[in-house]
Structure 1
Amino acid sequence: MERRAAVLGSPIAHSLSPCLHRAAYDALGLRGWRYDAIECDERGLAGLLSGMGPEWAGLSLTMPLKRAVLPLLDTVSDLAVEVGGVNTVVFRDGGRHGENTDVHGIVQALTESGAAAPRAATILGGGATAGASLAALRELGLSSATLVARDPSRARETAEVAERLGMALTVQTFDKLDTALDVDLVVSTLPAGAADSYAEALTAVPAVFDVVYAPWPTPLARAVRAAGGTVVGGFAMLLHQAVRQVELYTGRGEVPVEIVRAAGEAEIIRRAARTD
């Protein structure tokens, strides 16, 4: 029987996940596996899930589905409950199990860059990735963090994540960003282009993790790198969370990360050349 997996979200055409997963399946010799990108918003999610048969092994979820999927699952991991978002659905034993591999992706991305021992950290933005970033910071040993958001009321869900994680969270607005930069790591969870105007201010921070992976490098990444700081890009997070998803879907624990990394980097270069 063919085994299937897919990434769901809206918009989804830009997703790099199919390239990463297909490279992993090929490297593992899983010839009967297929991975697609499926356009799906909150309204279509329940119907899509109900129509999936026994050939389905798992789903990768991106915006806007990470929180919307929670009531549609049979079980959810403790970490995904704490973070308040599921980016991975594993079909097993006739049920749907929710996981969060974003946290793993962030931890691995910071670890391989040498920025995995922050004394203090600030997160920019209050969406689902901010919650995963908080959990990653906890895993790296922090018990508190600062969150910078345009509107403090929009940070409510992230504040609830911090409470579930047992972390102290200080919420600040962007007009007071300078008061939140006495840290050695800033995690920007802002969408592409949204952090550009803050790039110069962030050059004083030793390490910056920008979750954007295309176009790359971002103005923020270029500014921090030119100032001698450490820059971690969103591709590393995407890579490691995808590798963990493949492990969960297939039950295989020897996914060749460097082969998958090379495939993803080649696809990013191909796309950039196509748009130039």
Structure 2
Amino acid sequence: MWRCAVAGSPITHSLSPLIHTTAYRVLGIADAWDYGRHELDAAALPGFVAECGPEWVGLSCTAPLKSAVLALGVPSSRAALLNAGNTLIFARDGRPARVENTDVTGLLGALARAGVTQAERAVVVGNGATARSALAALAELGVTRVQVLARSQANAHASLGDLAGQLGIAVEHGPWGTTEAGEPADLALSTVSAPLPTAAAEALVARVPVCFDATYNHYPTVLDRAARAAGIVQLSGIDLLVGQALDQIRLFTGRDCPAEPLLEAAYAALP
């Protein structure tokens, strides 16, 4: 039995086991593959990985492990650029362990399924690891201008400033939760788990034809509902979760899985 799992803290809420095991059933490999979950913080991660036997193939890493996992394998150029990984592929057949970041491809894949393949200007809410992945994805869409809405301009600059420069993106800053009308943009992408005030969410969706809330803890979020009410393209954290999992499934099993049955299973599992 080949083994994979998701690790992080907290982890009991994770839908990753459901998504990956659904994929195994769709691919007809459920008898040979197992996917679990493990509550781990950054200090416990190296010891856990060291104890994994030869049956282990991969580990999905969520918060707070996205930086810590980089030390456990050879980071891809994308993971190194973003200083964040979410996928550990164990050493096998003489190849070293590798670390990848599939959040970027997950964002791009979800947007592509919604018909969004290019853009010029975007709004990003937040300045954490997911915001860094969002910048990389936006750069691949052709975005050259991003307004970052964050609680601290200094923290946003420290987290995103150098990366934006490397990606060729000009960044301007605005306050998190603003209700002021801003310039129109091609899409808005929120990476924060804290819910936006209703008025701020409505002001944000009024600026864009596409809205992507990358979190799913409280689906549908205030932003999800505002986008739906405005009649614009609405993507949620489930779309990202499934999108990044599709790449992990390919990296772990060597097989491509369709997105639709995974999206259906994940949405059906929400309260």
Both structures adopt the same fold (TM-score exceeding 0.5): yes
Q: Corresponding residue for 2:58?
A: 58
Q: Corresponding residue for 2:14?
A: 15
Aligned partners of 1:225, 1:175: CA distance in 2, in Å? 19
SS in 1 for 2:80: helix
- Give 1:101's aligned amino acid: T
Q: Corresponding residue for 1:229?
A: 232
Q: Corresponding residue for 1:125?
A: 126
| 2:195 aligns with one of 193, 206, 225 | 193
Aligned partners of 2:231, 2:224: CA distance in 1, in Å? 11
Q: Deviations over 1:210-255 (max 9, x none)?
A: 1122432212121222122221111111111101100000112x31
Aligned partners of 1:65, 1:225: CA distance in 2, in Å? 33
Aligned partners of 1:157, 1:96: CA distance in 2, in Å? 27
Aligned partners of 2:228, 2:117: CA distance in 1, in Å? 17
| 2:257 aligns with one of 251, 255, 258 | 255
- Give 2:67's aligned amino acid: R
Q: Corresponding residue for 1:81?
A: 80
* Compared CA separation, residues 175 and 57, structure 1 to 2 (3 A): closer
After the TM superposition, list the runs of 4 or more consecutive aligned residues in structure 1 that deviate by more than 6 angstroms. Answer: none
8 Å CA contact 1:188–1:195 kept in 2: the answer is no
1:177 deviates by 6.6
1:80 deviates by 1.2
TM-score, normalised relative to structure 1? 0.89
Aligned partners of 2:127, 2:144: CA distance in 1, in Å? 18
Q: Corresponding residue for 1:216?
A: 219
1:176 deviates by 5.9
8 Å CA contact 2:181–2:203 kept in 1: the answer is no
Aligned partners of 2:258, 2:205: CA distance in 1, in Å? 34
8 Å CA contact 2:84–2:101 kept in 1: the answer is yes
Structure 2, unaligned stretches of length 5 or more?
Answer: none
Q: Deviations over 1:31-83 (max 9, x none)?
A: 1211011101111112112111211100111111111222232x111111122
* Compared CA separation, residues 243 and 179, structure 1 to 2 (3 A): same
SS in 2 for 1:98: strand
* Percent identical residues: 41
1:175 deviates by 6.8
The equivalences for 1:94-243 within 5 A come to: 95-155=96-156, 156-174=158-176, 178=180, 180-194=182-196, 196=198, 198-205=200-207, 206-243=209-246
8 Å CA contact 2:177–2:197 kept in 1: the answer is no
Aligned partners of 1:160, 1:67: CA distance in 2, in Å? 17
1:195 deviates by 5.5
- Give 1:115's aligned amino acid: V
**Is 113-122 or 52-61 further displaced after alignment?**
113-122
* Compared CA separation, residues 221 and 44, structure 1 to 2 (3 A): same
Aligned partners of 1:186, 1:203: CA distance in 2, in Å? 7
* Compared CA separation, residues 235 and 181, structure 1 to 2 (3 A): farther
* Compared CA separation, residues 54 and 195, structure 1 to 2 (3 A): farther
Aligned partners of 1:14, 1:223: CA distance in 2, in Å? 25
1:180 deviates by 4.9
Aligned partners of 1:92, 1:29: CA distance in 2, in Å? 25
Aligned partners of 2:177, 2:14: CA distance in 1, in Å? 33
* Compared CA separation, residues 195 and 47, structure 1 to 2 (3 A): farther
